[in-house]
Structure 1
Amino acid sequence: MAAMLTPPPRLTSLLFTPGSRPERFEKAVASGADGIIIDWEDAVPAADKDHVRAEVIAWLTERGRVGAPPFLTALRINSLRNAHGLADLDALNAAALPLDLVVLPKVESAAEVHQALRKLRGEVRLVCLVETVLGVRHAAEIATAAPQVAALAFGGFDLSAETGGEPTWDALLWPRTQVVHACAAAGVLALDQPCIALDDSAALTAECERVRALGFAGKLAVHPRQCAVIQAAFQPGAEQVARARRIVAAVEQAQGNVAVVDGQMIDVPMFRSAQRVLQRAGGGGAS
């Protein structure tokens, strides 16, 4: 029987850092992110990929990881549909690095998930980027491909480039919703794309609030100063937490009878929503 995986990690914010800039790796720990994504894909030109891959593996082999747990160390490899991605997988297999997460870009099928897992060692989990038309179409298949899938991350910029559309909120609402629904059905986390407004914390907060309302559990970041804003936006407010505690306590005390909170009858979906609020707040109890 296969060993049980540990519970999925908290992924409210993950910070992309170019693989070509190892001097920035440890600085990511102070950003407030839940982890770093060392990027071998978009941040590295094709001519530099072999060199950067070797440099990052040497860095991680020497140090083991970036920061200390619970800070997460992740790598975004190249697409498995090109030679760079296949070389990335072979290198990770040979190095046996103690990674927490491997981020797979432009995933379009469960077969790509299985392909990655055949090479990766240990208890590494996957974040699958859904950023193509086929990826959105097959989101449910990808989310349920293996227990190691921790999250799907929506990528609207690549998707818009493929369709010829604009990466606006309205244009991306439908594919975002498809990703959230696939994640909810599979019991995995949904993460949203980075906000490209690097100097506009109000715009970032508004984006976080909109995707949180859809059901996203977190958001990717491309600059350290975005991480604290993302963490705050996805953290439930004091009134929301207090109401969630009342709901959980009332249901537990009702012992199968009807529970009422603030004049409202509490049904099973409301109870589950309250439990999720408390989990996001860092405490699942009713005390």
Structure 2
Amino acid sequence: MESPTYTAFSSGPAPGARLSPQTWLVTPGVTPQRFSTTVTSGASVALLDLEDSVPAGAKDDARADVFSFLSHPDGRPAAGTGQLGIRINSAQTPHGLRDLAEMAERALWPDLLLVPKVESPSDVELVVQAADGHGPRPRVWALIESPRAITNLADIMRAEGLSGVLFGAADYAAAAGCRRTTRAMWYPRAVLAAAAASAGLPAVDSPFFSLDDVAALRQEAIEAAELGFAGKVAIHPRQLPVIEEAFAPSRSDVEAARAVLEAAATAEGSITTVNGAMVGPPLVAAAHDVVGRAHDPLTAPSEKAGQAADGR
């Protein structure tokens, strides 16, 4: 995942629970004045970054600031509104080991840990093992950002303790020697979404890095939703409502899904039709999903996200 622009932001439950990961808002660990804004943005996951957005010489200071915020009573989203996450440095590096060691020593963990540069199950399992027995274990997500990781997805998805995966388009494009265009990214995105679905895990799409091209952000988010991603990362609060709208079922989607469920209930298990289209078990399952997401408060466009988009 490419480093968020340092100036991008305006100042101003138990493991296993399936909270919607629809919107992630990431902020660099070198900007502690923006941590509270990120946590109160209305994003499903407020992600503080210790990796790519933090220069090598600022790693220790960023770690201290992030962990200080984590230990503060205000350093968590309000109950039921989202999760606090930290992208650590790769556990194959000294800084990554320091990230894990300090959290373990203090038994101080966020709700979610994002592990970068994952290319094998051991990259995930090392972090899971480091967290075991040192306080409530966070959900551990893998950042998939290289062709080698895409090739090894079947093994990575079987990693013990893996809770979800996130796609890093910028690093993938650099490693693959390709452009970061929709066409170039279609294959790795599709493969990752399919592998995650096969493993029963959520997948979240890479950030969209242009802050001014709202139409392109909306189109990329819609395409990610079509591929089966559960959400997308934002690098600015004003991107959140656009992403939420792309992933939330529309009114017409919900009405069509309810029509399918009503027809299925009347048919009592038999194949039936709705508006001239045949309805069988796969469409009924999809309709249940649409209606369920429509009633999930974490998938409805939030008032806070709308306020952030307006700069309030």
TM-score norm. by structure 2 comes to 0.85
Comparing 195-204 with 59-68, greater Cα deviation is found at 59-68
Q: What is aligned with 2:158?
A: 144
Q: 1:26–1:67: 8 Å Cα contact kept in structure 2? A: no
Q: Does 1:236 align with 2:246?
A: no
CA displacement, residues 13-43 of structure 1 (integer Å, 9 cap, x when unaligned)? 1111111212111112443311210000011
Same amino acid, percent of matched pairs: 37
Alignment of 1:190-269 (within 5 A): 190-269=203-282
Alignment of 1:19-168 (within 5 A): 19-63=29-73, 65-69=75-79, 70-120=81-131, 121-146=135-160, 148-168=161-181
> Which AA in structure 2 matches 1:258?
I
Q: CA deviation at 1:238?
A: 0.5
Comparing 172-181 with 249-258, greater Cα deviation is found at 249-258
Q: CA deviation at 1:97?
A: 2.2
Q: Does 1:176 align with 2:189?
A: yes
Cα distance in 2, alignment partners of residues 52 and 5 from structure 1: 26
RMSD, matched Cα: 1.8
Cα distance in 1, alignment partners of residues 163 and 29 from structure 2: 22
> Which AA in structure 2 matches 1:185?
S
Q: Of the two structures, which has the highest relative contact order with CA contacts closer than 8 Å and spacing of 6 or more? A: 2
Q: 1:139–1:182: 8 Å Cα contact kept in structure 2? A: yes
Q: What is aligned with 2:290?
A: 277
Q: Secondary structure at the match of 1:94?
A: helix
Number of aligned positions between the proteins: 280
Comparing 62-71 with 5-14, greater Cα deviation is found at 62-71
Q: Secondary structure at the match of 1:25?
A: helix
Cα distance in 2, alignment partners of residues 144 and 245 from structure 1: 35
Q: CA deviation at 1:64?
A: 6.2
> Structure 1 residues 96, 249: closer, same or farther in 2, change over 3 A?
farther
Structure 1: stretches of 5+ with no match in the other structure: none
Comparing 272-281 with 125-134, greater Cα deviation is found at 272-281
Structure 2: stretches of 5+ with no match in the other structure: 1-13, 297-312
